[in-house]
Amino acid sequence: MSQERLTVRKIKEILRLKYEAGLSNREIGRACRVSCSTISEYTRRARQAGLSWPLPESLSEEELYRSLFLEVKRANVGRPMPDWEIVQQELHKKGVTLRLLWQEFSEQHPDGYRYTQYCEHYRQWSGSHNPSMHREHKGGEEMEVDYVGPTLPITNPETGEITQAVIFVATLPASKRLYAEVQPDQGLSSWINGHIRAFEFFGGVPRIVRLDNLRSGVKSPTYYEPDLNPTYQELAEYYRVAVIPARVRRPKEKASVENGVQNVERWVLAPLRKRTFFSIAEANRAVKKQLEILNQREMKMVGKSRDQLFEELDQAALRPLPEKPYEFAIWKKVRVNIDYHVVFEKNYYSVPYPLIHEEVDLRVTERMVEIFHKGEQVAIHLRKRQAGQYSTRSEHMPSNHRFVAEVNTEHLLEWAARIGPQTKKWASALFQSRPYPEQAYRTCLGVLNLARKYGTEQTDRACQISLEAHLLSYRDVKAELDRQTRLLTPSQPTALPVHENIRGDTYYK
C-alpha cells in the first residue's frame, strides 16, 4: 500500500495531535485531511525512529525527515488481500470481530497486513454508511466558530458613509454558551483575533475547534485538500488545539454554531436593528450587553441558562489559557535576492549570505520580522514601518563584503567608469550614502544597465546632473534620461542621402 508523501510540517502536526491532543486517527485525518492509514504509517515510522512528543527542540526539519524516510522500506507489492465480501458476511455472525478475522487471516498469510492496516482496508472497502444520529457533546471538548449572515451597518460620523461590519460567533456545544463580536471584515487578522478573544471569554481552551471552510482559516477551501492557513495553524499549535474543518455539505457537523448563529441573529442583532452605531467599539459594547442577556436566559428544553450549563459542564473541562495570548503573525514565502536581503512591504531585511536565491519563510508580527529556512530560524529583525528602509546584520555579511565573485563594489565602479567619469562619481556617492555598500548594489546595477538603452554618453550626462542635484536613486537617473530623450526634437532636419536625382541646396545659386 503506497503512502502519500506529506510535508514535514504536516507530519509534525499529526504527531502533535496524536500524542499531545490525544485524538483518534479518524479525528486527526479530519483535521489534517489525510487518510487514517497514512496517519498509522507516520506514527509507526516515528516509533521505529525512537521519536516521541514533544520532539526535541534541537531536531531540525531535515533531521526529522531523515529519521522518518531514510530507512529501507518493506515492499508492499504482492501482499495478499482478504476477500472483503466474505469478511462482511462473517462479521454478521454472532461473536465474530475484525480482530478475530485478522488473526485467522494472519495464520494463513504471515506476511499480510498488520491489524490497523487490515481494518483501514476494510473501512475503505465497506465505505461509510453510518446513519444520522444525535451527537453527545462532552464538556470542554469543542468550540465551533462561524460568521453570522447579516451584517451590522457602521456610520462614519464625519462623512456619513456606511460600511457593513460582520459578526464573529463562537459556541461551546455542550453548554450552548455563546460568544459574539463585531469585526470590520472577515480577513485573517479579524479571524485570528476573534479566536483569541473567544478563548479569553470562555476562560480556557477546548481540545477541538470546528469551523466551516472559511477562506480566512483554510488556505484552499476544497473538500480534498483544505489545508489550514499557516497563521491559523500556528494559532492551533500555540493553544494546543486541533482544528477540524467541517466537511462540505455536512451541516450537522457544526450544528451547534449554526443554531448559535441563529440565536445571535434573533436575540442580539434583531434588538439592535433600529440603533445607529458610529464605531466598531460602540457596536461591540451593545452586542456584549445583548449577549449577556442571551447567555443568562433560561432555555425551556433544559430548564437552565447557558451560563449555568457552562459552569456545570465546560468550565472545569477547559484547559487553562497560556500565560500570554497568541500574537498575530503573517506568514509569507519569499526568495533571497542577490544582495542577501528579502523584501517585505518595500523594506529590506538581511539573511546569512549563503542563502542567496534560496526560498525562505517570513513570520511577521506587529514588531518583529522572523526569517526561517527549512523550519530553522536564520534571522530576526525589528519591523520597519517607513518604506525603503534596510535592516542589515553584520554577521550576515561575508568577511570581505563579497557575496558573489562577479558582483562587488570594485567591479561595479569599474563598470561605471567604462560608461563615463560622471557615472563612476555618481556610483561612489551612492555607495557612501549607505551604511553598507551591499545595500546599494541593486540600485547601482539598475542605473548601469540603463546605458544599454540610452547609450553611455547620455547616461553619463544624466548621472552628472543627478549627482549635482544630490539625487541618488534609480528613479531619478531614469527620469533625467527620459527628459533628455524628449528634448531631442524629432523634427530637426536630417541630411539627405547622396543620389544623382537629388539636386541639392546649391542648384539654384
pLDDT tens profile 5-56: 567 788 888 888 888 888 888 888 888 888 888 888 888 888 877 777 888 8
Residue 196 pLDDT grade (very low, low, confident, very high; cuts 50, 70, 90): very high
The residue with cell 461551546 is 172
Question: What burial letters (b/e) apply to 313-349, b meaning 16+ CB within 10 Å?
Answer: bbbeebeeeeeeebebbbbeeeebeebbbbebeebbb
| Per-residue model confidence (pLDDT) at position 360 | 95
If one compares 78 and 148, the residue with the highest pLDDT of the two is 148
Question: Could you give the CA distance from residue 425 to residue 225 in angstroms, rounded to a whole number?
Answer: 56
If one compares 404 and 348, the residue with the highest pLDDT of the two is 348
Question: Could you give the CA distance from residue 458 to residue 483 in angstroms, rounded to a whole number?
Answer: 11
As a whole number, mean pLDDT of residues 120-140 equals 60
pLDDT at residue 294 greater than cutoff 50? yes
As a whole number, mean pLDDT of residues 159-188 equals 92
Range among 119-123, 130-134, 399-403 with highest mean pLDDT value: 119-123
| Per-residue model confidence (pLDDT) at position 303 | 84
475-487 pLDDT, tens digit per residue, is: 999 999 999 888 8
CB distance 116 to 40 below 8 Å: yes
| Per-residue model confidence (pLDDT) at position 136 | 55
| Per-residue model confidence (pLDDT) at position 199 | 96
Question: Could you give the CA distance from residue 139 to residue 311 in angstroms, rounded to a whole number?
Answer: 10
| Per-residue model confidence (pLDDT) at position 53 | 83
Q: Any idea what DSSP says for residue 272?
A: G
Question: What is the number of other CB atoms lying within 10 angstroms of the CB of residue 387?
Answer: 8
Sequence-ordered list of residues with C-beta below 8 angstroms from that of 492, at least 6 positions apart, any chain: none
- Residue type present at position 382: L
The residue with cell 492509514 is 37
Cβ burial of 413 (10 Å; 0-12, 13-18, 19+) is: middle
pLDDT at residue 339 greater than cutoff 90? no
| Per-residue model confidence (pLDDT) at position 379 | 95
Q: What is the mean pLDDT of the chain?
A: 82
Least Cα distance to 105 among 81, 140, 77 occurs for 81
Lowest mean pLDDT among 105-109, 121-125, 263-267: 121-125
Helical pair 409-419 and 456-468, crossing angle rounded to 10 deg: 110
Question: What burial letters (b/e) apply to 362-385, b meaning 16+ CB within 10 Å?
Answer: bbbeeeebbbbbebeebbebebbe
If one compares 76 and 96, the residue with the highest pLDDT of the two is 96
Question: Could you give the CA distance from residue 335 to residue 365 in angstroms, rounded to a whole number?
Answer: 19
Name the percent of the chain lying above pLDDT 90: 36
CB distance 287 to 178 below 8 Å: no
Residue 407 pLDDT grade (very low, low, confident, very high; cuts 50, 70, 90): low
Domains and their CATH numbers in the chain: 8-126 (no CATH), 142-314 (3.30.420.10), 330-396 (no CATH), 409-487 (no CATH)
pLDDT at residue 122 greater than cutoff 80? no
Residue 64 pLDDT grade (very low, low, confident, very high; cuts 50, 70, 90): confident
DSSP 344-392: ETTEEEE--GGGTT-EEEEEE-SSEEEEEETTEEEEEEEPP-STT-EE-
How far are the Cα atoms of 62, 145, 182, 185, 219 from residue 148, in angstroms, in the given order? Answer: 43, 10, 10, 12, 21
| Per-residue model confidence (pLDDT) at position 213 | 57
CB distance 313 to 307 below 8 Å: no
Sequence-ordered list of residues with C-beta below 8 angstroms from that of 112, at least 6 positions apart, any chain: 79, 80, 105, 106, 118
Count Cα neighbours of 206 within 13 Å in the Cβ-side half-sphere. 29
Residue 392 pLDDT grade (very low, low, confident, very high; cuts 50, 70, 90): confident
